[in-house]
Structure 1
Amino acid sequence: MSLRIGFTGDVMLGRLVDDRQRGRAVDAVWGDTLERLRGLDGLVLNLECALSTRGRKWTRTRRPFHFRADPDWAVPALERAGVDACALANNHVLDYEEAALRDTLAALDEAGIARAGAGETIDEALEPATFAADGDGANEGIDVAMVSLTDNTPEYAADEESPGTARVEFAVDDAETRRRVGVALERARETDPDLLIASLHWGPNMVTEPPESFREFGRWLVENGVDIVHGHSAHVFQGIEIHDGSPILYDAGDFVDDYAVDDDLRNDRSFLFVLAVAPDGRPTELRLYPTEIDGCAVHEAGPDAAGWSRDRMRELSAPLGTAFKRDGEALVLSLDGSESDDEDE
């Protein structure tokens, strides 16, 4: 029996989401996706904000947006959804400077939610997040390790003495990148995981296709032992590529936020990506459940929005050599070598 590990796009719990949550149930931010989230054996997301009420807005360089959420509700919300690991290597974790970053690290640690990609030093930021996907009693669990990296916001990068993010340039031919990413992957492998995740916050906003350099880097990660590449940053989902049986999610889009919606790119629409994993850690299937943001919460997408997202994902993935089956509202991608013909709706 397979275990199911979920992946989401950006989860931004600050600003209007934070304001709205003060007057509604802690788990309201997950809308009607909560039952599906809680039914997973593991859940990984990119946390696109600080968890703190302290700190001051970063003004050392120009930053148009600053995101933080009150941990008094945000941490219980993450717990209610069953979040196992948060990627922190992104362009908002230091929006309220070092005090809020430290609060974020402490809040996640106290809740037992694994985190990677940021820390007191670059050494800590490169440490993997680890968790056990325990299954339901019928399945034996698996051990999961995740590294988290970003190419965003150089001023937020950690170094040997200062807190911040695990920042690299995503270029295979960059020697320093290969060294730093190699360190992160080696540390993850030392935990002897059954499943190894690379969660990458890469590239600019509102871009619908990955550059060739990202495709090269994603394939290089797979060739170096990564089982799934979990990309995010663009605020819109991008296509999926399969390399050596491992999925490369170039961008998972947005899952929860309060952002203005582009009527053409529809940054309010994406998916919950659910990876089926065999007991030996081998990915066997990827299911995409359409989602839509409304009222500062995520919801299962209605018929029109779901149809738009399925069509768009097929369109973006076809040039990457990827085709999907359809099962109910979900798109399904086989990773075990079985046929995966696209089907009409």
Structure 2
Amino acid sequence: MHIAIARRARALAGAVGLVLVAGCGLLGGSDDDSKSGGNAAPAGADASAAAPGGPTAPGASETPVVPGAADPAGTITLAFAGDVHFNERTVPRLNAGADTALGPISKTLAAADLAMVNFESAITERGTPEAKTYHFRAPASALPVLAKSGVDVVSMANNHAVDYGPVGLQDSLAAAKNPPIPVIGIGPDAAAAYKPWITEVKGVKVAFLAASQVQDITNQKYAAGPGKPGIASALKADQLVAAVKTAKAKANVVVVYMHWGIEGDKCPSADQKGLAKKLADAGATAVVGTHAHVMQGAGMLGNTYVDYGFGNFLWYGTSPYPNSNDTGVTTLTIGGGKVVKEAFTPASVDSRGVPMPQTGAEAKRITDRRDGLRPCTGLAAAPE
């Protein structure tokens, strides 16, 4: 079944808009949704449309780093960022006008062949709040807004996907049924929640999966099961590991986007490290994730790239942890089925909750701090 992804050409500057194209699909699409080769838009999208830009803040770069622009034919680039939602100060980003919801860093996401974030929210305007402290939700219009910001696929396997109970979950599943961009890690049953979205770019098939390892009310009450709607859970790794092995048999590259870790902790937990090893052994090309609200370290686990935590990205408020506004976009170049280059575009979450790309001393500080987190991960440095 075909999904038309709202996409844009990889214009590096002077980008002003794009055409959103409606499509059909089921919860992130079929096992083999194809995308045309090169830096072209997928079938159905307007290949002549450009990536939107936006105003810059003091200290922000007007031309964010665009990794992979001169890479040889046959390689692909994948861009990743952290937690995104539309609550409190970020609600106006749903109607950002000529700007994109994510601001100028959208150009960095758009420059990659495929870009992914975690959508930390239920997609509903109804429902009853669950018995928890924080509740996040957004209207279904958030998905095309993210598509306009350069995002190609989102994970909803997180601890806020069912903040508004069964009614909210029903609405989220309805929004994900015919999405402008694939939504993974959630479904009407376990088979759908653990199902990868597989697409093809430059002749390379890429599979994306998502799951949550966070021990919370969402994983307790709303883990997907046989005939039971909910999120893909990784509290027990077996089903996720099996899904990775199955995806590896169908795709050249397998990405697993995790929700995991301990809030505020800059180092990965033993549970994170243990699961990363299992996913790497199962054939994952890259294992990436969020949840801690701060950046965690990244590097290589054998042939598998691991980034334990991207941190906040489009965020409703300042988290009560040091350096919680430090963020950025990680762009991986994949060649021969493995990561051959990592590039990081540093950003800082501003007073509007928007991740603004940085230059100069602040960019160096964020990048150096990120690189300094690697020792506690036990990972080797990624290729540059």
TM-score by length of structure 2 reads 0.74
Which of 215, 218, 221 aligns to 1:155? It is 221
Name the SS of the counterpart of 1:28 in structure 2. coil
Where 1:271 maps in the other structure, the secondary structure is strand
Contact 1:7 1:43 in 2 (8 A): yes
Which secondary structure state, in structure 2, belongs to the residue aligned with residue 9 of structure 1?
strand
1:178 deviates by 4.2
1:206 aligns with 2:267: no
Q: Are the counterparts in 2 of residues 147 and 199 from structure 1 also a CA contact under 8 Å? A: yes
Aligned partners of 1:6 and 1:37 also within 8 Å = yes
* Aligned-partner residue type, residue 172 of structure 2: T
Output the CA distance in 2 between the equivalents of 1:99 and 1:207: 33
> Residue 101 of structure 1: SS of its match in structure 2?
helix
1:62-73 mapped onto 2 (5 Å cutoff)? 62-72=131-141
Give aligned-pair identity as a percent: 25
CA contact 1:89–1:149 (8 Å) conserved in 2: yes
Partner of 1:146: 208
2: CA distance between counterparts of 1:57 and 1:261?
21
Determine if contact 2:100/2:149 at 8 Å carries over to the other structure: no
Deviations 1:293-326 (A, max 9, x none): 11122210243432221221122113446676xx
Give the structure 1 partner of residue 368 of structure 2.
311
- Which deviations, in whole Å up to 9, do the C-alpha atoms of 1:21-50 show, x marking residues without a partner? 355327532111122221110011111012
Shift of 1:108: 3.7
Asked if the contact 1:98/1:163 (under 8 Å) is kept, the reply is no
The C-alpha deviation readout for 1:317-336, integer Å capped at 9, x for no partner, is: 13446676xxxxxxxx41xx
After superposition, residues 98-109 of structure 1 pair within 5 angstroms as: 98-109=166-177
SS at match of 2:272: helix
Unaligned runs of 5+ in 2: 1-71
What does residue 112 of structure 2 align with? 40
SS of the equivalent of 1:71 reads coil
Partners of 1:223 and 1:50 lie apart in 2 by: 32
- Does structure 1 conserve the Cα–Cα contact (< 8 Å) formed by 2:127 and 2:168? yes
Give CA deviations for 1:251-283 in whole Å, capped at 9, x if unaligned: 111111112244x622111120101012x3322
- Conserved 8 A contact 1:52-1:69: yes
TM-superposed CA distance for 1:9, in Å, is 0.9
Q: 8 Å contact 1:10–1:253 — kept in the other structure?
A: yes
- Give secondary structure in 2 for the equivalent of 1:44: strand
Report the Cα distance in structure 2 between the residues aligned to 1:238 and 1:119, rounded to whole angstroms: 28
Q: 1:311 to 1:101 in 2, by over 3 A?
A: same
Go from structure 1 to structure 2 and tell me whether the alpha carbon gap of 1:6 and 1:100 turns closer, same or farther (over 3 Å shift). Answer: same
- Cross-structure match for 2:230: 164
Q: Which residue of 1 aligns with 2:129?
A: 57
Is it true that 1:10 corresponds to 2:83 in the alignment? yes
C-alpha contact (below 8 Å) 2:207/2:247 kept by paired residues? yes
Taking the aligned partners of 2:160 and 2:378, their CA distance within structure 1 comes to: 33
Q: 1:181 to 1:76 in 2, by over 3 A?
A: closer
The structure where strand makes up a greater share of residues is 1
Match of 2:349 in 1: 293
Partner of 1:181 in structure 2? Answer: 240
Is 1:234 aligned to 2:315, yes or no?
no
The one-letter amino acid of 2:208's match is M
The CA distance in 2 between the partners of 1:322 and 1:150, in whole Å, is 22
CA RMSD across the alignment: 2.2
Given the superposition, is the C-alpha separation of residues 293 and 141 from structure 1 closer, same or farther in structure 2, using an over 3 Å criterion? farther
Helix, strand or coil for the counterpart of 2:355?
strand
Kindly indicate whether the alpha-carbon contact (under 8 Å) linking 1:269 and 1:305 is maintained by their aligned counterparts in 2.
Answer: no
SS at match of 2:257: strand
Question: What is residue 283 of structure 1 aligned with on the other side?
Answer: 339
Aligned-partner Cα distance in 2 for 1:88–1:101: 11
Greater helix content: 1
> Would you say how many aligned residue pairs link Structure 1 and Structure 2?
306
Gaps of 5+ in 1: 135-139, 170-176, 325-332, 335-339, 341-345
Contact 2:85 2:120 in 1 (8 A): yes
Relative distance call for 1:148 and 1:103 in structure 2 (3 A) is same
8 A Cα contact 2:241 2:278, kept in partner: no
8 Å CA contact 1:27, 1:77 repeated in 2: no
1:95-131, Cα deviation, whole Å (9 max, x unpaired): 1223333333333442342222111122221111223
Contact 1:51 1:71 (C-alpha < 8 Å) held by counterparts: yes
